[in-house]
Homo-oligomer: A and B are copies of this chain.
Amino acid sequence: MNHSAVPSRVCTEVVAAWQSPGSLWSRLKAACEEDWKRYLANDFVRHIANGTLPSSTYRHFIEQDYLYCLHFCRAYALAASKSRTADELHRSLSRAVTILDGELALHRRLLTDWGLSADEIEALPESSANVAYTRYLLDIGASGDLLDLHVALSICVVGYAEVGAHLLGHERTRIEGNPYRSWIEQYGDPDFQALADSVRDHLDQVAEGRLTLHRFGELVRIYRQTLRLDIGFWDMAYREQV
């Protein structure tokens, strides 16, 4: 491990991304190009795309994602509690409610269909990669400001939307007969793309008047770390780890 090589390279990438045009999201993504490639190319997503993911793996993913959604919702509630205007409060609360009434409820129904009781759902063991990701989000919220937190929260929404669009547009993706067709279509769907657009826009709003190169560098670190934790989540799901 050659530590000394790291800082200066990172620095050049960050400055270039900082000077690039576009939304904050696209500039953060530009600063983390290699991690982003790994994100798109992970095994879990590849096997979703061609429909070869074992059903036990998918079930493990849903179980962990159920727990993830709980804490993801808590993190949006934390964002609401850190808000200083009614608009900000409204925005974060709406997202929290959508996760709770949307994704969490959907997962819950699936788990119930698979035979899990309410108590068993509540007692699902949380994988280490899941703890790492969710508690990192909550800690960014506790230790940083609202912009730090929204950058960390954005990966899961916008990242999934970009994965969905990527899969739908990719020649190797199998749609017909793919047991995970609904998963691909859910995240590739125009509605989910619009949600991602609004999250990207909101990031620019929260960042307005706050960005300096120094702050951008901090946000890149948060973005990269979150991206890696998201890859870690998919790897954990793929390997059915607890």
The chain A residues found within 8 Å of chain B, CB to CB, are 3-4, 6-7, 70, 73-75, 77-78, 80-86, 89-90, 92-93, 96-97, 100, 104, 108, 116-117, 119-120, 122-124, 126, 128-129, 131-132, 135-136, 138-139, 142-145, 148, 208-215, 225, 228-229, 232
Of B70, B74, B78, B85, which is within 8 A of A122 by CB? B85
With the chains together, A148 CA to B148 CA distance in Å?
14
Check B142–A145 contact: CB distance below 8 A. no
With the chains together, A212 CA to B212 CA distance in Å?
8
Q: Tell me if A's interface is mostly helix, strand, loop or mixed.
A: helix
With the chains together, A135 CA to B3 CA distance in Å?
25
With the chains together, A93 CA to B79 CA distance in Å?
12
Q: Which residues of B contact A93 (CB under 8 A)?
A: 73, 77, 93, 96-97, 100
Instruction: Looking at the assembled complex, report how far the CB atom of A144 sits from the nearest CB atom of chain B, in whole angstroms.
Output: 6
Check B209–A211 contact: CB distance below 8 A. no
Check B74–A86 contact: CB distance below 8 A. no
Instruction: Looking at the assembled complex, report how far the CB atom of A145 sits from the nearest CB atom of chain B, in whole angstroms.
Output: 4
Q: Closest B residue to A147 by CB, please name it.
A: B145
